[in-house]
Structure 1
Amino acid sequence: MARRNPYYSGPVSDHFDGQVFHNPGGHRLNGFRELLRWQFGSETRARWPKSAVSAHHGARPAARVDDLRVTMVGHATLLIQTAGVNILTDPHWSDRASPVQFAGPKRVTAPGIAFDDLPEIDLILLSHNHYDHLDGLTLRRLHAVHAPRVITPLGNDTLLRRLVPGIEVTAHDWGEAVEAGPLTVHLDPCHHWSARGTRDRAMALWASFTIDGPAGRVLFIGDTGFDGGRPYDVVRRHGDLRLAILPVGAYEPRWFMSPQHQNPAEAMEGFLRCGAEAAIGHHWGTFQLTNEAREAPVEALAEALAARGVAAERFRALAAGEVWEPGGTP
């Protein structure tokens, strides 16, 4: 007997079979057997520092920005300021990416913006429900202090209302567009999956976001496998991108991770494929989720850019507290 979907009930589509979501035409995601092979196999897991020090910690953002400014908080959490709107992506200020705070992947780099130094937050873009992207503790704090609106893919609204009573959240399918003040937010496919436990795999949707506003278009992908470049091809329909914010970490071993996490070389190919003027690399250096060393994504991205003759300043893997602004590094 099929398990009931606790998050979403809606019509069958090319990516929803009435029970679970999937990646149309995409690669098969690994199951429990492959997980055991990875966890108990012979692959070497790099040793990360217990804590990492960055000179950039403690950024103090402006109250509002008319043009475009992005500040790295850590992992997939970035503050995007544009057209007078303050946006957080996949906000996470907790010590662990886990259902509990006494076990699971532990933060090794402090948030680049202290929670109390945040400007007023208007909008949250929540890409999917994995614990390193959807953190209930942080969302409750943000709701209590800022009461922001949340835009998320299908099914995650049900989960958020359970975790944060009273939260303002709307859930949307791939291909939909949402108005948010002077901005339009488009949701599009990426190659990933979702789960909060062992019995709800792929029962809530995942998505990328393209923010379209007066200062130009910004793409944010929280997590994706490269999938032959299809996640990048689809966003081109929105027009030229000023900035692409792309994951570059948590990619080893490739035999296990490639369907769900692109590596830096693939992220660079995606950057070129979507035609963005510049890119930011995220999803590295905060939580050890996979086998590669903490600095490996930065080094691999530099190698990939050099191999293709792309200037390093066009695609920067931001450390916590670093800021990206048009025209160069502050």
Structure 2
Amino acid sequence: MTSASGSGKKKNPYYQGPASDHFDGLRFFNPGGVGPGSPLDLLKWQFAGGRVRWPNPVISAFPSAKPDRHVFGDQMRVTMVGHASMLVQIAGLNMLTDPVWSERVSPFRSIGPKRVVPPGIRFEDLPPIDLVLVSHNHYDHLDLVTLASLQARQRPKIVTPLGNDTIIRRAVPDAEIVVVDWGDRIAVNGGVTIDVEPCHHWSARGMGDRRMALWAAFVLTTPAGRIYHVGDTGFHDGINYEAVRQKHGGFRLAILPFGAYEPRWFMKGQHQNPVEAVKGMKLCNAAYVAGHHFATFQLTDEGIDEPVHALDAALKAEGVEPDRFRPLRAGEVFDVPVV
């Protein structure tokens, strides 16, 4: 690959640092993995005509949630906002994952994937937010408008992988950002620590910045148990799931994507399907899963309910009780059982 060093060479606009086992000096990569499809692959997919039309709008079965200010003790509560955005409350800590309240996940205001169901928590009903995890820079995970609104509201700490801080500071110049690499560990108030772990994905905000900011998963160790949060990932033969179990032992809760996976020839390297998500649950030794990345923005070909039907079949095939892997709908509240 092209090196970032030397006069006249292309340079990374987000991050400048030494090469590593997942950074070549210009771009980040998945060790032993695969890169994203080419622009020609993207065109082939877009013109294949296999997309199932979603209904729009959609009415969630759950009313808009009005979360408590905090939860304490052995409580662990997850409230679904939509897609990969969740409010996680534990040990007096209020955390948002990949918060997106915008109507579209796109660089444009009037085109691009549009929200089909309102956010499961109205923005004004959020409790005080202490921590925000941003897993990578795709528009369905890094929403600058939402981050700026959170900053204006109360200045939460933002934890995000290398390079994403540069993007965030363009909209939120005074944000408190903790920039992390795979393998890092940081301390959070309330006896909570965060370990930064690999996942198999990629990044881009436009056509010329592919893989120039890092992507990551997070492990939270808290007084009430461990949480493994994955914003986006391909299954990657289960390698990262095996590694995280060996390092951390197991989890009270895993937050795992299981949607946006068709067609497989194009999506396999970046989005796991329900069968793979259930295998991942078992490989990482998670007692419960909050499932996400479905039924909010249509990013791929499958119908709006297909991920849930496929998940039901996968759970039966693997002998996993359905209440252990919860596909969360907007507004749904999941009080994770104590294990």
Report if TM-score (shorter chain) is over 0.5: yes
Give the one of 301, 317, 321 matched to 2:331. 321
In the TM superposition, what is the alpha-carbon distance from 1:99 to its structure 2 partner? 1.1
Match of 2:13 among 6, 23, 38: 6
Q: 2:254 aligns with which of 240, 244, 259?
A: 244
Shift of 1:29: 2.3
Deviations 1:13-37 (A, max 9, x none): 0100000000000123211111111
The letter of the residue matching 2:70 is R
Q: 1:115 aligns with which of 123, 142, 148?
A: 123
- Counterpart for residue 3 of structure 2: none
Corresponding position: 1:52 with 2:37: no
Give the letter aligned to residue 203 of structure 2.
S
Alignment of 1:207-226 (within 5 A): 207-226=216-235
User: What TM-score comes out, normalization by structure 1 length?
Assistant: 0.97
- Partners of 2:249 and 2:285 within 8 A in 1: no
Q: Tell me, yes or no, if structure 1 residue 176 matches structure 2 residue 184.
A: yes
Residues 191 and 260, structure 1, Cα contact 8 Å, conserved in 2: yes
Alpha-carbon contact 2:253-2:336 (below 8 Å) kept: no
The 3-state SS of whatever aligns with 1:178 is strand
Task: Note the 1:2-81 alignment, pairs <5 A.
Answer: 2-41=9-48, 43-66=49-72, 67-81=75-89
Does residue 276 (structure 1) correspond to residue 286 (structure 2)? The answer is yes
Q: Does 1:195 align with 2:204?
A: yes
SS at match of 2:286: coil
Partner of 2:4: none
- Give the one of 319, 322, 325 matched to 1:312: 322
Q: Deviations over 1:158-191 (max 9, x none)?
A: 1111121211101111010111112101111000
Contact in 2 for aligned 1:57/1:111 (Cα 8 Å): no
Contact preservation (8 Å) 2:95, 2:133? yes
Question: Does the 8 Å CA contact 1:69/1:326 hold for their aligned counterparts?
Answer: yes
Using the alignment, how far apart are the partners of 2:312 and 2:134 within structure 1?
28
Deviates more, 1:304-313 or 1:26-35: 26-35
User: Taking structure 2 as the reference length, what is the TM-score of the superposition?
Assistant: 0.95
Of 143, 148, 151, the residue aligned with 1:143 is 151
Residue equivalent to 1:206: 215
Local SS of the residue matching 1:243: strand
The AA in structure 2 aligned to 1:222 is: G
Q: Tell me the distance in 2 between the aligned counterparts of 1:102 and 1:282.
A: 25
Cα distance in 2 for residues equivalent to 1:83 and 1:134: 26
Q: Pick from 288, 300, 304 the counterpart of residue 294 of structure 1.
A: 304
The equivalent of 1:129 in structure 2 is 137
When the two structures are aligned, how many residues end up with a matched partner?
Answer: 327
Query: Which residue identity does 1:267 align to in structure 2?
Result: A
Q: C-alpha separation between the residues in 2 aligned to 1:306 and 1:239? A: 25
Unmatched tracts of structure 2, length 5 or more: 1-7
Say which is worse superposed, 225-234 or 286-295, in terms of deviation: 225-234
**Matched residue SS, 1:242:** strand
Give the match for residue 231 of structure 1: 240
Relative to structure 1, the CA distance from residue 289 to residue 307 in structure 2 (aligned partners, 3 Å threshold; closer, same or farther) is same
Structure 1 ranges of 4+ moved more than 3 A:
none
Tell me if the contact between 2:131 and 2:157 (Cα under 8 Å) persists in the aligned partners: yes
SS at match of 2:281: helix
The alignment yields a C-alpha RMSD, in angstroms, of 1.1
What secondary structure does 1:233 align onto? helix
* Aligned-residue identity in percent: 56
**CA shift at 1:324, angstroms?**
1.0
Partner of 1:294, secondary structure, is: coil
Which amino acid is 1:46 matched to?
V
Query: 1:259 aligned to 2:269?
Result: yes
Residue type of the alignment partner of 1:281: G
